Amino acid sequence: MRRVLIAMIVATMGCAPKQTQLSPPPNIYLNGEEYPAGEIPEPLRSIDPKLFFVTNRQPAGSGGQRGFFGKQRSDSMFFGEATVKFDVADWDTLLRRTTGEENRNWTPLTIGDVKEVVHFLPFPLPVDRRGDTVEFQTAPLLTYQKQGRAFKQALSKKLSSQKQDSVLLYIHGVNNTFDESLSTLANLWHFSGRKSLPLVFSWPAGNPGILGYFRDSAAGDFSVFHFKELLRLLAEVPEVKRIDIVAHSHGSDVAMDGIRELVIQHRAAGLIPRRAMKTGTLILAAADLDVGVVRQRLATERVEEAFEQLNFYINPNDFALWLSAILTRTVRFGKLQREDLAPAEFNSLLRDALVYFIRVENGDSSNSHTYFRRNPAVLSDIVLALRTGTKPGSASRPLVDLGDGFWLLPSHYPGPRPIDDGSRSSR
């Protein structure tokens, strides 16, 4: 009965950002650093920009309705673009709210037109046995490859027209709708300076009821192949030079499984994974990952080799992950503490200087799981990591070194601690 009650709570709160508004201004902009509006190309200085999506959700609209995507699974991938509307009068008003010059607690974000650009064939494709091998049938394979070229050509055209060469890829957690995944991406993209092409992988989450968490988790497993295909296709776009990835909660599980499989594939082909995948910075916030699985499957396969740096944001007070840990009876990575691992286990995760565990200070509020977009200090560090590519402890990212691979992200970050602030750092 206790597990059922916990599952009900997880299903109602879980990983869901319920994102319908502009995030609070990051501290970096409140502390005097200017939002890089002058670096944003004129076509992107818009209050209703177009963002891009790849989803394996089943379309829920019909007839002349816009392309809604629901919570049911699809064997097909859909690529398209969606308009996200910031509810402000004009660009200058949005800039003032971005930097806190104009205070308003609620700036709604709504999803406008959704346009499907490519509808891929369902996978798995039909196969034929030929001797000792099983091969895809020629006609379906050629069609799928043609659809892949259409995807790559659409991105090439967009990147060239906007003079961009990087992609910001976001993967959401459980209990998220299609619209919520787009609005969260809109916040991350906007506050980081709109310098990359914004793309969300929206998998079929949002199942209701007491079993919603488990159904969403299973849908995440179902989505790994489609996510892996997305990464493969992105890396084959000539104009793409860099892919930065942000994953939240159970989206971290989807992302890391797909990344792991590609790392193994590229290494077996004699390729350097990071060069083949074009991956840059990886950010996992409130990761709903089994610590033991991370050690056995990700650390063993040296997945960190695929990135310039891995940033794990950790909140020991994350209530949703506390519930998840009770349900799964395993430590969750997003609330990892030093004492959760034996010295040898911990050292295996810190064998190089690429992995950073960033502990969020004062993370016990109602945003204990959604802090990555609601906490002005955390959002500041994510923005700095994406904009500058610098590592913790550098001048650009003045995190506090706690030793043993842990870094403290103070609530006043990146500015100095107020004199009357009674907060105390601890590991």
Q: What is the pTM of this model?
A: 0.91
Q: How far apart are the C-alpha atoms of 176 and 206, rounded to whole Å?
A: 5
Q: CA-CA distance, 414 to 45, in Å (whole number)?
A: 26
Contacts of 117 (CB under 8 A, 6+ apart): 79, 80, 81, 150, 151, 154
- The tally of domains found in the chain comes to 1
Measured distance CA(77)–CA(74) in Å, rounded: 7
Non-local CB neighbours of 253 within 8 Å, separated by 6+ positions: 217, 220, 287, 288, 289
Q: Give a yes or no: residue 144 inside a domain.
A: yes
Paired strand residues for 283: 246, 311
The per-residue pLDDT for 12 is: 46
Phi, psi dihedral angles at 95 (to 5 degrees): -65, -40
- Is 427 a member of any domain? no
Helix (H), strand (E) at residue 191:
helix 178-191
Backbone CA torsion sign across 119, 122, 127, 132: positive
Residue 145: per-residue pLDDT: 97
Contact between residue 202 and residue 182 where contact means Cβ atoms under 8 Å apart: yes
pLDDT number for residue 208: 82
Domain of 142?
A: 2-409
SS3 state of residue 395: coil
pLDDT at site 424: 42
| Within-domain flag for 354 | yes
Q: Which of 211, 184, 129, 204 is nearest to 370 (CA)?
A: 184
Q: Is residue 255 a contact partner of residue 283, using CB atoms and an 8 Å limit?
A: no
**Is the sign of the CA dihedral 17, 245, 337, 295 positive or negative?**
positive
Q: Rounded to whole angstroms, how far apart are CA atoms 73 and 292?
A: 28
In a domain, 422, yes or no: no
Asked whether the beta carbons of 28 and 383 are under 8 A apart, the reply is: yes
Tokens at 386, concatenated: 């994406």
pLDDT along the chain (427 residues), means of 10: 48 51 92 86 95 95 63 96 95 93 82 95 94 93 98 97 95 94 97 97 89 90 97 98 96 95 95 96 93 76 88 90 82 81 64 80 77 92 94 92 88 74 45
Please report whether residue 303 resides in a domain: yes
> Considering the domain boundaries, does residue 121 fall inside one?
yes
Q: Are 226 and 261 in contact (CB under 8 A)?
A: no
